[in-house]
Structure 1
Amino acid sequence: MITDPPAPKPFVKGETPPISATDALGTPPTEWVFNEDYERLVVAWQTVMPQLETLRTALDKADSLARSPQTWDAAVGERYVKDLREWRTRLGVYRHSVLTAISDEAADTPRWVKTTAGVPHAF
């Protein structure tokens, strides 16, 4: 059984960005905002998961019906069950690859980014 990779963590109300402080050169504090690119990855994950679950549920239902002796009484039934198993395997590999791609990109994308908006300037 293949387990899903970790999902990107959505922004939680009240969550605080990294602490801003002046650096060794005395640069003023910076403002932080939740990264829009990271948010897109969260939305992509939340969009894809229900669709993948719908596909898995549909294939599981068809597989259970195909295995029933009341459905098939011929050799063609075994071939159909074999095809469904192949599709379930393909869906599992596809699911893993899509979720891994999103998870890997989220791991490489910072949740918070610095912004210059609202920061006092000398001029």
Structure 2
Amino acid sequence: MYVDPQPPKRPDPHDPMDRPPINVPGTLDDPQRAWRFNPDYERLVVAWDAVLPQLDSLKTVLDKAYSLARSPQTWDAPVGERYVEEIREWRNRLAVYRHSVLTSISDEAADTPRWIPTTANAPHAFPVS
């Protein structure tokens, strides 16, 4: 059993800690620089939100098929155990695939800056739904 990795963090306008970086006066940073939410990071949040329900629905369908296949009312012959094993293997493959996909999105989000400099006047985050 795999545990889902940390999802990309959505911007929270009500969280005082979720703000763009602050330029310190007297440093090399431009004190007039504004920041915006990184569109690459936004795509990772959207990808996570798109893929997770699909993976959940696949897991639900395979779990239902597996429970029905294990029922003694379903199979009346010894060959039924072979089908149960195949479904079990597909469940294991799906778990590995799910972990792989979600980990790659999570790792990419960890390496992608949330805020990038812009020439706009105010920080912007993509709409939170």
Please report the TM-score for the alignment, with normalisation by the length of structure 2. Answer: 0.85
In structure 1, C-alpha distance between the alignment counterparts of 2:29 and 2:115, rounded to whole Å: 22
2:3 is matched with: 3
Unmatched tracts of structure 1, length 5 or more = none
Give the structure with higher Rg (CA).
1
In structure 2, C-alpha distance between the alignment counterparts of 1:55 and 1:44, rounded to whole Å: 17
1:24 deviation in Å? Answer: 2.3
Out of 70, 74, 77, the position equivalent to 1:71 is 74
Residue 11 of structure 1 aligns with an amino acid whose one-letter code is P
After superposition, give the CA deviation of every residue in 1:18-77 in whole Å (9 maximum; x if it has no partner): 223334247333101011110100000000000000000000000000000011111121
Of Structure 1 and Structure 2, the greater helix share is in: 1
Could you list the structure 1 runs, at least 4 aligned residues long, displaced by more than 3 angstroms after superposition. Answer: none
The 1:75–1:50 alpha-carbon spacing in structure 2 relative to 1, beyond 3 Å, is same
Out of 89, 92, 96, the position equivalent to 2:92 is 89
Q: Is the 8 A contact 2:38 2:114 kept in 1?
A: yes
1:54 is matched with: 57
2:25 is matched with: 22
1:117 deviation in Å? Answer: 2.7
Aligned Cα RMSD in Å? 1.6
How many residues of Structure 1 are paired with residues of Structure 2 in the alignment?
119
In structure 2, C-alpha distance between the alignment counterparts of 1:69 and 1:20, rounded to whole Å: 68
Residue 96 of structure 1 aligns with an amino acid whose one-letter code is H
Residue 57 of structure 2 aligns with an amino acid whose one-letter code is T
* Pair 1:105-2:108 in alignment: yes
Unmatched tracts of structure 2, length 5 or more = 123-129
Q: Is the 8 A contact 1:20 1:31 kept in 2?
A: no
1:12 is matched with: 12
Residue 81 of structure 2 aligns with an amino acid whose one-letter code is E
